[in-house]
Structure 1
């Protein structure tokens, strides 16, 4: 609930932007302006590392709305879930600092859709995250890419997923929810 107001404002702004004809194509970059608030800070007075990923959700909401994917999701009873994410930090954000969250679709493999999010201050990258997400049905089960692309169109011109992203996904994947995943330490 701590980001609910930011999320609602972001979605409202994205809808207004869409109505003004500012739709995004599959290779376009979404930009959301954010300010570091006191609730974003940790005891060291810089943005908490976990907050970056939470705020990157705002970029995903903007991207979903402005590409038209949100409407398709509502129509079909789908929603997106993050299946994996990795983040790298360069510089810290401090109280009151304004920054942009830039988001774009990277591509897809047979299991996930990949996005990149960047935290940018005056053109300089402070943090970058790669996110793998899957589309699931409210009634249960995942939405195959063929069904997703039939509803929204297949994005053209997307490059292949970088090899390191494929390696990362393969190496970090947990077992299916239908298989056991005991917590044993070696």
Structure 2
């Protein structure tokens, strides 16, 4: 089940941070902390890989609210979409461990915003994900230029880092499953 209470709590906490003046720029790193709950673990008593991806939603939510994107989503009646992702797992996260979740933009192009997220326990990286995300309106992706203008950052230029561009290029060669 989706963690709606955690989601609402994340929004409230991020809004409180904004009220206190702790906003973020699009080039900043968002950090939130959480605990691995019993509802997050699998039969091996570690955080379920699917739950990791779900909890990454919370990091992107904090980032959106604290950068002002959240307000623009409401104002413009925009939505968010994840159009691709890759993830690597390096270290288990056990029940009740304190987790630091980091979120940052690692580039954007005319259509997509590329986000890197990672989870850390006791200063050690446990997982890292790269996501192709976009802002949507009426089921279509909004041009990044328009999103940046709405945020008052039309001059911001963050081309994808080389490793991200390599992923983008490799993804273009990805074979889709054959149709019957």
TM-score of the pair, normalised by structure 2: 0.90
- Show CA shifts across 1:123-181 (max 9, x none): 221111111101111x3322112211221133767653123322322433599xxxxx9
Shift in Å, 1:48:
0.9
1:72-151 matches, within 5 Å, as 72-137=72-137, 139-151=138-150
Distance 1:2 1:124 in 2: 26
Corresponding residue for residue 184 of structure 1: 178
Distance 1:53 1:83 in 2: 13
Q: Secondary structure at the match of 2:141?
A: coil
- Show CA shifts across 1:62-92 (max 9, x none): 0000001110111111111001111111100
TM-score of the pair, normalised by structure 1: 0.87
Q: Which moved more, 1:59-68 or 1:35-44?
A: 35-44
**Structure 1 residue runs without a partner (length 5+):** 176-180
- Mark the CA change 1:115 to 1:155 in structure 2 (over 3 Å): closer, same or farther: farther
Q: Secondary structure at the match of 2:55?
A: helix
1:1-186 matches, within 5 Å, as 1-137=1-137, 139-154=138-153, 159-173=158-172, 183-184=177-178
Contact 2:111/2:141 (8 A) holds in 1: no
Contact 2:109/2:144 (8 A) holds in 1: no
The total of aligned residue pairs comes to 179
Distance 2:74 2:156 in 1: 26
Distance 1:63 1:167 in 2: 25
- Aligned-residue RMSD, C-alpha: 2.2
**Structure 2 residue runs without a partner (length 5+):** none
Contact 1:15/1:66 (8 A) holds in 2: yes
Distance 1:182 1:84 in 2: 13
Contact 1:109/1:161 (8 A) holds in 2: yes
Contact 1:82/1:133 (8 A) holds in 2: yes
